[in-house]
Chains A and B, each alone.
Chain A
């Protein structure tokens, strides 16, 4: 999982599918970054081919954590598969979607 500092924002880019094997690590790492960076975190989904149910759960948990601070989880460059999964599971409204990382970073302005 790569992280890029863009201005005051951290862009997290998981590589490969987000499944039961990676979900807990992803969840704890993103939570840690949210705390360290006062919530200025973007999840770049361009490296995510697909997510399984546990991966979805971890994304939803992070979104829920941010929701208690009045913010949404910003996700960028999600492919059609992931967008469809989020729509079908009704989780889509819990995320803020952006085309690319720059657009997501600019939304913090």
Chain B
């Protein structure tokens, strides 16, 4: 399986320095992304999903503020794999925006407010290919058109503040596409948008992926969005992957109690108010990354928790079916 992978992450751990000692933000993450595949990374705040993406892109602070372990292999069309974590910075700069591009949640703060969107796209084009300013500008117009900005020839002169939230996110996507990436990392790209605009952006990403064949690492907290876009899903809790499965399997038959709790806590249209009925909430709060016990990290909130085996040790990731992994010591009894 890993032979054909585009990106192969092995044993990725990220620790931040703090006054109270090291804080483990991500622990022992391993996963791979196939060419053209959409892998969703799902989790709530402080689960480590954004830190994982930033570690892959090497956008975190250098040691000692932040210590990264593990390997991130980028495979280039069957040729030798490159470990991004040991790549010299100049080579890494060519990877960023070239082989791997990234878009963020907040399109306003991610764009430069004092240059036109056209200039920002053209800059990205010239960063990754030999192109004259004139060619790059023409490419900027093409890219804006590709991401569905109407009247691209005129809008290319607009500044970010001229654009609505949805249009800004389209401009961000145009910049990301400028280097013709093999992998697009999208960190909560629709969270700041209205639902009707979210539907437009998801539609756009699906179309671009179909046309370009790029793979996508889609980071989100929204399981409804996962159902729309993901082929495979990794669920993160407290810095670890707790379940991994194809999207349909994960959403229909989750095995980890956290995953099923999270799916149940999402309000559904179909369950519109019946008097007396309550949402299925998960009790308790998301654990503080500073105090992570030696037990299963979800055990304080888990309805299926038993002192033995849940508090004895952290369960390992167990492969329960092809492409389906679960980090739960009691999954067999719970599923039964």
Is the A/B pair a real complex? Answer: no
Interface residues of B (CB under 8 A from A): none
